[in-house]
């Protein structure tokens, strides 16, 4: 699996999460309405997410599984976040593609290796598409801005029913219609240390697991040396 494939899944998950967090149920409801939140859980989840974000940096170990008609697959990769606007996506050692770095709205792609080391190209993140930093914190932001949070034995749970279309979610494999998203967060020492996002629809299923670590001590993200501008194609 290439880093480009990993980013596609990451973008998809973040976009689905973002769309589900702001859309309301419309049309025929295929799932029961989400439960009302517990005010204490809402406040606790928000504080835990803000503790993660205020650390300034962290590492996320990500596993993303998609099942739909004719396809089932899982990707794993590492995501590094450095506030306020830097991220790095690192594929597994045996992946055929390289890493991706975003600094502000510029994306750097590791394309190949030569005798002198990896070669990098860069381009601007397309308008309307999330930057790497926005994707890195998307799942934490869910618990900062939702009022339907409930307690679980290990942390918090949020259920959202929403209408999502492929253009909104940037995830055409899920398809349009009523979707149910269930997001759970595990908390240790008042921080969110793991999240699981499950999105179900009549056509498919997606699950993204993120385990957070190295709060405040993640590796620094720097501009790749010698990066060349990606040519513009007509």
Dist CA 164 CA 167 (whole Å): 8
CATH architecture of 3-227: Clam (2.50)
Give me the average pLDDT of each 10-residue run along the chain (234 residues). 45 46 43 78 96 97 88 90 96 80 95 69 90 92 90 92 51 50 93 92 84 97 90 65
**pTM score of the predicted model:** 0.80
The predicted pLDDT at position 83 comes to 97
CA triple 55-61-63, angle to 5 deg: 140
Q: Give the residues across from 117 on adjacent strands.
A: 114
Dist CA 73 CA 67 (whole Å): 7
The predicted pLDDT at position 9 comes to 47
The predicted pLDDT at position 22 comes to 40
Residue that is written with structure tokens 């010698």 in the block: 226
Pair 218, 72: CB distance under 8 Å: no
Pair 107, 123: CB distance under 8 Å: yes
The predicted pLDDT at position 118 comes to 67
CA distances from 133 to 46, 79, 152, 197 (A): 19, 10, 28, 18
Computed on alpha carbons and rounded to an integer, the radius of gyration of the chain in Å comes to: 18
């Amino acid at each position: 699996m290439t880093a480009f494939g990993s980013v596609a899944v990451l973008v998809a998950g973040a976009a689905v999460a973002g769309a589900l967090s702001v859309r309301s149920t419309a049309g025929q409801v295929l799932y029961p309405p989400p439960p009302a939140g517990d005010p204490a859980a809402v406040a606790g989840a928000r504080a835990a997410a803000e503790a993660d974000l205020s650390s300034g940096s962290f590492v996320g170990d990500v596993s993303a599984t998609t099942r739909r008609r004719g396809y089932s697959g899982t990707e794993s990769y590492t995501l590094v976040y450095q506030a306020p606007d830097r991220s790095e996506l690192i594929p597994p050692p045996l992946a055929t593609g390289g890493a991706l770095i975003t600094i502000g709205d510029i994306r750097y792609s590791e394309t190949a290796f030569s005798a002198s080391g990896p070669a990098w190209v860069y381009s601007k993140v397309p308008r309307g598409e999330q930057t790497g930093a926005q994707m890195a914190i998307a799942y934490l932001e869910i618990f900062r801005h939702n009022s339907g949070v409930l307690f679980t034995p290990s942390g918090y749970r949020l259920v959202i029913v929403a209408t999502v279309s492929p253009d909104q979610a940037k995830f055409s494999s899920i398809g349009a219609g009523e979707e149910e998203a269930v997001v759970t967060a595990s908390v240790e020492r008042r921080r969110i240390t793991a999240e699981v996002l499950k999105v179900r629809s009549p056509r498919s299923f997606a699950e993204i697991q993120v385990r957070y670590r190295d709060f405040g001590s993640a590796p620094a993200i720097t501009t790749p040396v010698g990066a060349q501008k990606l040519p513009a194609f007509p």
